[in-house]
Structure 1
C-alpha cells in the first residue's frame, strides 16, 4: 500500500468517527426534544412545541450562514483545520447544552453548535475536496454513511437515557470524545496528494482569488437550478419528520404509535446507511452525479407522497426503504458535482455554499411543516412535501445540461492514468 493510500485510509477513519459522533450527539436530542424542553419547566403544548421547534432548527439556521464562510477559510488555512474547529465547536456546544437549565440557554447552545460546529459539513467538504478523482465518490459515500449510522444510534441512546435523567452525562461524554477526536484529526488528517512523490500544491494567483465572502459557487455548471433543488429536496425530506409522526399516530393504535415511528425511522436510516456506499461507487463509475441527483430526488418525492396513502405497516416499510436509499444520494452527489467542477483554490468554499442550500431546506422544512399541518389535512401535507422533492428532481434535469462527463478534469486524469 502506497503512502498516499495509507493517508487516505486514515483520513476516512478519522472523518467517519467524527461524523458519527456528531450525528449521534445531535440525534440523541432531536427526537425527544419536546420531552427535554418539558424537563426544563416549560408547560403547555404550544409553548413546548415552539421551543422544541426552535431548538431543532437552530443549528441548521446558523450553519446556513456559517458554512460557506468556514469553507472559504478552509481554502486559505487548510481544510483539515476546519474539521478540528468543528469538533471543538461540537464539544463546547455540548457542554453548554448539558448545563442549560432553561430553553433560552438550550437554544444558545444549539446556535453555538451550528455556528462553530458543523462536523458533518466540514468532513464532507474535506472528503469532496481532497479525495482522489477516481475515488472521490466512494470517499463521499463512506463519509455520508457515518451520518446514517449516527442517526440510527443516537435515538436509541436518547430513548434509553431520557427516562433515567442521564442525558446531561451523555452530552458531557460526547464533548470529551469530540475533544479527543479534534486532537487526533489535528495530528492525523492530511491531504493525500501531499504524500505523493513530486506533488506540490498548485500556486494560487492572489490577484484573481475572490474575496472572503465570495466562494465561486455560481461558476459551477448548473449552480442556480441545483441550489433550488437542494433547498426543495431537503425541505421535503426534513419537513416530513414532524408530519409523519402525526400521520402514524392517527393510523396506528395510540399505544403503539411511538414504537412504529421508531421502527420506520430505523428502517429509513438503515437503508440510507447501506445505499450510501453504492451511490458513492456509482458516481465514481458513471461520473454523472447530477443525473444521480435527479433520479434520487424524484424517487424520494414519489416515495414520500405515497406515504399519504393508507398502506399499512408493510407498505410504509417499503416506502421508507425507498426514501432512505434515495436520500443517500442527495448530498453526496451534489458535493461530488460541485467538488469536481470548482477550482482547486475555491473548492471547500464552493462545497460549503452548496451545503448552505441543503441546510436552508433542512431548517425551513420543520418550521413550515407545523403551520402547514394546521391548515391542511396530514395526508395533503405529506403529498406537498413529496411534491417539493419532485420539483428538486425537475431542477436537476434542467442542470443536466451543464454536466459533461467526458470533459471533466478528474475523469481525464483517470483515463490517462
Structure 2
C-alpha cells in the first residue's frame, strides 16, 4: 500500500474520532453542567454556550501557532501532540467537580488543538498531485461522519452508562488514535525554512496573496453557512410537523443527517473531479448550487421536502472544503504550508462561532425561514466574488495554478 494511502487511513480515523468526540460532548454539556450543581435553567444555557464556544474561539487563535510548529518540527509530531493532549484533557473532563473546571478544560482543549490542521497538511504535502483532491475529499468526510454519529453515541452512553463515561470513552478513542499515529503514520519531513518567521515575513513568502485571502474568506463563509442552521433546525422541523407529533427528535435527527450522508457519498468523487478539471471550477459551481439550494428550504411545508433539499445541499457542500484545500496547497510554498493551513483552519473555527451566532440572531429578529434566505444570499455573493477573483484569473492563462 502506498504511504499516502496508509497515512490517509490513520488520519481519517483520527479526525473521525475528533469529530465524534466534539459532537457527542456538545449535546450532553447542559446535562453534565446540571449534574455539576447548576440548577437555574438560564445559567445552564449560558454556561453551556460558554463551554461550547470557548473551544472554537481559542482554537482559532492557536491553530496558526501549531501550523507553524508543524512546518518547523514535522506534521507527525503535531498529530501525536494533539491526539495525546486531547485524550488526556477530554478524559479529565469526566473528573470535573464543578462547572469552572469543565470550562477550564474546554479552554485547554482549544489550546491543544491542531489535529485537523496537521492531518490536512500531512495529506496535502505527502500525496502526489494526481491524487491530492481525492485524498483531501476522503479526509473531509471523517469529521462529518464523526459529527453524524457523535450525538447519537453521546446520548446513548449518557442514558445507559453515565454522563462521565462519555468523556472517558472519547478520551480512550483519542488514545487509540494517538497509538495508531505513532505506529502507522510515516512522514519524510525535511524542514525547508530554518528561520522562525514573523507574520510580515511569512506573508511576503505567500506568492498569491489575493487568492489566499479569497480562499480563507470562502472557507469562513462555508462554515458560517453550515452552522447558521444548526441552532434553529430542530425548531424549524417542529414547526413543520402537526401539533403533538411524537417523533420530533427522530425526524430532526434524520434531517440533520441528510446533508452529512450526502457529503460522505459525494466528497471523494468531487475531489477526483477537482483533480481533473481544476478546484476553482468545482468551488464556483458548488457555491452557486449551495446558495440556490438554501433558498427553497425557506419555503418548504413538510419535513420530507426539507430533508430532500438538505440531501441535495450535502452533495454540493462535498465539493467545497476539499477543493479549497487543494487550491491552497497549489498556491502555497511547501515550507509554509502548515502555517497557511493553520490560518485557514482559524477561519473555519471562527465560521463555526459566527454561523451559530448569525442563525440564532436572524431567527430571533425576523424568523427562522429568513436564516435560509440570508445564508443562501451569503453563499451566492461569495460565488460572485470567487468568479471575479479566482475563476477568471485561473481560467485566463494561469493553468499551472488551476491544475
TM-score greater than 0.5 by the shorter chain? yes
Partner of 1:204: 192
Describe the superposition over 1:317-367 as per-residue Cα deviations: whole angstroms up to 9, x where unpaired.
111112222222222111111111100101111111112112111111113
Describe the superposition over 1:142-200 as per-residue Cα deviations: whole angstroms up to 9, x where unpaired.
11121122122212211212223523223212212322322331333223xx4xxxxx9
Partner of 1:400: 391
Task: Specify which of 323, 340, 343 is matched with residue 353 of structure 1.
Answer: 343
Cα displacement (A) at 1:45: 4.1
Cα displacement (A) at 1:135: 0.7
SS at match of 1:117: coil
Structure 2 gap ranges (5+) = none
Partner of 2:315: 325
After superposition, the Cα gap between the structure-2 partners of 1:295 and 1:247, relative to the gap in structure 1 and judged at 3 Å, is same
SS at match of 2:91: helix
Partner of 1:302: 292
Moved more, 143-152 or 182-191: 182-191
TM-score (structure 2 length as normaliser):
0.90
Describe the superposition over 1:249-302 as per-residue Cα deviations: whole angstroms up to 9, x where unpaired.
22224533222111111222111111111121111112x212222222232222
Describe the superposition over 1:183-237 as per-residue Cα deviations: whole angstroms up to 9, x where unpaired.
331333223xx4xxxxx95x73647x73378644854351233322222221121
Describe the superposition over 1:47-106 as per-residue Cα deviations: whole angstroms up to 9, x where unpaired.
333222222222221111111111111011001111111101211221232122433222
User: 1:236 aligned to 2:225?
Assistant: yes
Partner of 2:375: 385
TM-score (structure 1 length as normaliser):
0.87
SS at match of 1:377: coil
Partner of 1:71: 67
In the aligned structure 2, how far is the partner of 1:93 from the partner of 1:22? 13
Give the CA RMSD over aligned residues: 2.5
Cα displacement (A) at 1:242: 0.4
After superposition, the Cα gap between the structure-2 partners of 1:277 and 1:171, relative to the gap in structure 1 and judged at 3 Å, is same
Partner of 1:273: 264
Partner of 1:51: 47
Partner of 2:140: 144
After superposition, the Cα gap between the structure-2 partners of 1:205 and 1:177, relative to the gap in structure 1 and judged at 3 Å, is closer
User: 1:90 aligned to 2:80?
Assistant: no
SS at match of 2:231: helix
SS at match of 2:129: coil
Structure 1 gap ranges (5+) = 195-199, 412-417
Task: Work out whether residues 60 and 346 of structure 2, in 8 Å CA contact, stay in contact via their aligned partners in 1.
Answer: yes
Partner of 1:247: 236
Task: Work out whether residues 57 and 367 of structure 1, in 8 Å CA contact, stay in contact via their aligned partners in 2.
Answer: no
SS at match of 1:241: coil
SS at match of 1:83: helix
How does 1:56-205 map onto structure 2 within 5 Å? 56-191=52-187, 194=188, 201=190, 204=192
Task: Work out whether residues 244 and 382 of structure 1, in 8 Å CA contact, stay in contact via their aligned partners in 2.
Answer: no
